[in-house]
DNA sequence: CTAAATGCAAACGGTTTGCAATGCT
DNA sequence: AGCATTGCAAACCGTTTGCATTTAG
């Protein structure tokens, strides 16, 4: 994956976001760590690289990313908001045992919705939860 | 809809929940107000009837309802948790204009998931958002 | 009488806000 | 210099917690 600085500066500009140090590093982190991180995770990860980083800046930057469609929100029954650099339609599965959030593909074109035919649907989210394969196997041991 | 006290006492017992004044009134409220209410909405609605009611009790009771499967959580990109007395699989549509949460029917059997074939899926949630028909018409006026 | 249910008040923690400091051109 | 970006500290608010009080069988 292309994640050099020049490429990311351009990427940000395509989304009408002025590239700044923090914005570039946050974009890089999100692209290289597609684990649907929380604000805290992003903050602590970047703190090693940017010792003066504040959580406020992480919030600010994520707000900008959100408004400009670079990231989307993931909120599966939890208080901490998570962020996803992949804004295309896909499902999220949260393992109740290990807490990990997995992506999965869905063929939403087969999904028929009844009752909202005349609504303007701007966003769709599909959240599953349960036990992932790894945790199932651990329990069986 | 049957919502007399005797019926609801029995309903709670079926879910292994001891009927108490607050539990019965909360169940009644949830059954008669399927608006996916927040804790605050439930609290203020019942306060008229139970002047000594505390939010703690609303939280406690909802926890019991949740654990016993009488209600399910609705968390569409918002901080306030909402509760749904309908625990069957259906979609939720949140209007970004008026904030109302609508239910809609989905034929999830047509939905193919790829990537989580070996996971134990215990819960599925489908959240849409956009502009509801009413708000669309208001804007057009 | 006893255990469960309810309520009060404080703490908690993620997020927001106002403003000051810093950086960039 | 002037404007955008970043950071600090406090406030905010929904939720949780510990414990005291009340209720019900």
Model confidence pLDDT, tens digit, residues B14-29: 999 999 999 999 999 9
Residue scoring higher pLDDT (A27 or B108): A27
Q: What is the pTM of this model?
A: 0.91
Estimate in Å the CA B41 to C1' D13 gap, whole number: 15
Model confidence pLDDT, tens digit, residues B45-61: 999 999 999 999 999 99
- Whether B9 and B73 map to the same domain: the answer is yes
Pairwise CA distance, residues A112 & A97, whole Å: 31
Report whether A93 contacts A102 (CB < 8 A).
Answer: yes
Mark which of A83, A107, A130 sits at the end of a domain: A83
DSSP string, chain B: ----HHHHHHHHHHTT----HHHHHHHHHHHH--S--BHHHHHHHHHTT-TT--HHHHHHHHHHHHHTTSSEEE-SSSSS-EEES--SS-EEEEETTT--EEEEEE-GGG--EES-TTSEEEEEEEEEEEE-HHHHHHHH-
Q: For residue B126, give its domain range.
A: 88-140
- Whether A49 and A110 map to the same domain: the answer is no
Mark which of B67, B83, B99 sits at the end of a domain: B83
pLDDT given at position A108: 80
- Whether B67 and B136 map to the same domain: the answer is no
Q: What is the mean pLDDT of chain B?
A: 94
Model confidence pLDDT, tens digit, residues A116-126: 999 999 999 99
- Whether A37 and A11 map to the same domain: the answer is yes
Model confidence pLDDT, tens digit, residues A87-111: 999 999 999 999 999 999 998 888 8
Of A115, A130, A132, the CB nearest to B123: A130
Of B76, B124, B133, the CB nearest to A119: B133
CATH number of the domain bearing residue B97: 3.30.1490.190
Q: Does A2 have pLDDT greater than 90?
A: no
| Chain A, window 98-137: residues with a beta carbon less than 8 angstroms from a chain B beta carbon | 102-108, 110-116, 118-133, 136
Number of structural domains (chain A) is 2
Mark which of B36, B55, B83 sits at the end of a domain: B83
Q: Does A3 have pLDDT greater than 70?
A: no
- Whether A20 and A75 map to the same domain: the answer is yes
- Whether B74 and B92 map to the same domain: the answer is no
Model confidence pLDDT, tens digit, residues B53-104: 999 999 999 999 999 999 999 998 888 999 999 999 999 999 999 999 999 9
- Whether A95 and A115 map to the same domain: the answer is yes
Q: Does A80 touch chain B (CB under 8 A)?
A: no
Task: State the burial class of residue A21 (Cβ atoms within 10 Å of its Cβ: 0-12, 13-18, 19+).
Answer: exposed
- Whether B34 and B96 map to the same domain: the answer is no
Q: Does B118 have pLDDT greater than 80?
A: yes
- Whether B43 and B27 map to the same domain: the answer is yes
- Whether B70 and B35 map to the same domain: the answer is yes
Residues of A whose CB is below 8 A from B134: none
- Whether A41 and A72 map to the same domain: the answer is yes
CATH number of the domain bearing residue B33: 1.10.10.10
- Whether B57 and B74 map to the same domain: the answer is yes
């Amino acid at each position: 994956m292309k994640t050099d600085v020049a490429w990311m500066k351009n990427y940000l500009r395509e989304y009408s976001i002025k590239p700044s140090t923090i914005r570039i590093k946050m974009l890089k982190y999100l692209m290289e760590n597609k684990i649907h991180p929380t604000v805290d995770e992003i903050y602590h990860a970047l703190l090693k690289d940017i010792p003066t980083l504040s959580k406020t800046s992480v919030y600010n930057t994520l707000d900008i990313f959100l408004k400009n469609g670079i990231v989307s929100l993931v909120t599966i029954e939890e208080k901490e908001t998570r962020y996803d650099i992949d804004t295309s339609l896909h499902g999220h599965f949260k393992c109740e045992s290990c807490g990990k959030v997995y992506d999965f593909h869905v063929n939403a074109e087969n999904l028929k919705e009844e009752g909202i035919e005349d609504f303007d649907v701007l966003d769709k989210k599909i959240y599953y939860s349960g036990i992932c394969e790894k945790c199932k196997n651990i329990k069986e041991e």
